[in-house]
Amino acid sequence: MFLWKAKGRNCSKCQKSIPVERLVSDVVTCGAFRNQCGMTVKLIQLLFVSIIIGMAPWSEAGLLQTVSTPRVSVSHQARSIQPGEVVELVVSATQSVVSVQVTAFEQSILLYPSSGQMVWRGLIGVDLDVEVREHLVSVTVITADDTPVHVRYPLTVIPKQFATRQLTVAPQYVNPTPEALARIQQEAARTTTIFETQTPQRVWRGSFLAPVPGKATSSFGRRSVFNGQPRSPHSGADFRAIEGTPVTAPNRGRVVLRSDLYFSGNCVILDHGLGLYSFFAHLSGFAVEEGDVVDSGDVVGYVGATGRVTGPHLHWTVRLNTARVDPLSLMEVLFDDSGTY
């Protein structure tokens, strides 16, 4: 066992000192780190993080302690790190891993082994309301010899602009009666309870596919104004389709809700496991019952115009550990269909 004093570095361009704690950020610069010379030290960062991850946790005193722990690496893939995006986190080790504990955006993230016990994967949802700044993902890896390895992995959320849409609907969907409002609150509590539940097993396999043919016609995150009154952002993807068109499961899942909701009309919620849910709204009819387990491509219902709508279409919402995320982001991130995911 030995102790190694962690030192900072000087920028090769302006010679300003860069504190060691800044070297573990994703990309840092010297001086004010954003507003001065702008010299990137990514190579130093990568080397330093490799040393930290391959050794014991970094103490507050800035010391590293070697305890013969396995080397662990953390990486991610995503379309972008913006509100509404899905991020796949990958944790790898050089020996068998017993468990991985991850916290991101104040949410517990469940991971699963994807290549023996040495590579683990999990999905992080960047909610529409996440603050635009650098966030640290906390990762704790427990190896076969019960040795914990702690890693803080940075994800920097960048801004995204969303358009606004103006819609006209029946008055009762903008100014509901007291009785309707009570129903709305009950339904919201029910769906919130569902989305807050993390099934510990992964149910989905491979890629997520569009539930109806064609492309989404309404942008996720678009700000909605109904009858001149601002309402919540559009938290799903809309697919235009003829009424009665079969709606198929985008992936394997268990039916946890089959109901008629005030705003969403006839709807089905699928639990894909590990905090991942699909919500299909405005259906004209159902093809499943609560408790059914469906495979990718199985019919769950039919396109309709029930609830608060302006015409027949399918509204597909995805919730990931309660975060509102774009279904199209999920489809692009989980692109592999080999069954290894």
pTM: 0.76
pLDDT value at position 215? 86
Closest to 99 in 3D by CA, of 148, 54, 66, 137:
148
pLDDT value at position 144? 85
Mean pLDDT on 160-188: 82
Q: Which residues are CB-neighbours of 17 under 8 A, at least 6 positions away?
A: 8, 9, 10, 30
Question: Which helix (H) or strand (E) element contains residue 239?
Answer: strand 236-240
**DSSP assignment string, 294-341:** E-TT-EEEEEB--SS-SSSEEEEEEEETTEEE-HHHHHHHS---SS--
Q: Which residues are CB-neighbours of 341 under 8 A, at least 6 positions away?
A: 114, 121, 205, 206, 334
Give all domains of the chain, ordered by start, each with its CATH number: 72-156 (2.60.40.1590), 166-334 (2.70.70.10)
Under 8 Å between Cβ of 280 and 296: no
Q: How far apart are CA 24 and CA 6, in angstroms?
A: 12
* Radius of gyration for the alpha carbons in the chain, expressed in angstroms and rounded: 23
> In this model, does residue 158 exceed pLDDT 50?
yes
| Residue with the larger pLDDT of the pair 32 and 73 | 73
Of 19-23, 167-171, 336-340, least confident by mean pLDDT is 19-23
pLDDT value at position 65? 22
For 9-22, write each residue's pLDDT tens digit. Answer: 444 444 444 443 33
Closest to 334 in 3D by CA, of 209, 210, 237, 207:
207
Q: Which residues are CB-neighbours of 118 under 8 A, at least 6 positions away?
A: 92, 93, 94, 95, 96, 97
Residue 231: pLDDT band (50, 70, 90) is low
For 287-329, write each residue's pLDDT tens digit. Answer: 999 999 999 999 999 999 999 888 899 999 999 999 999 999 9
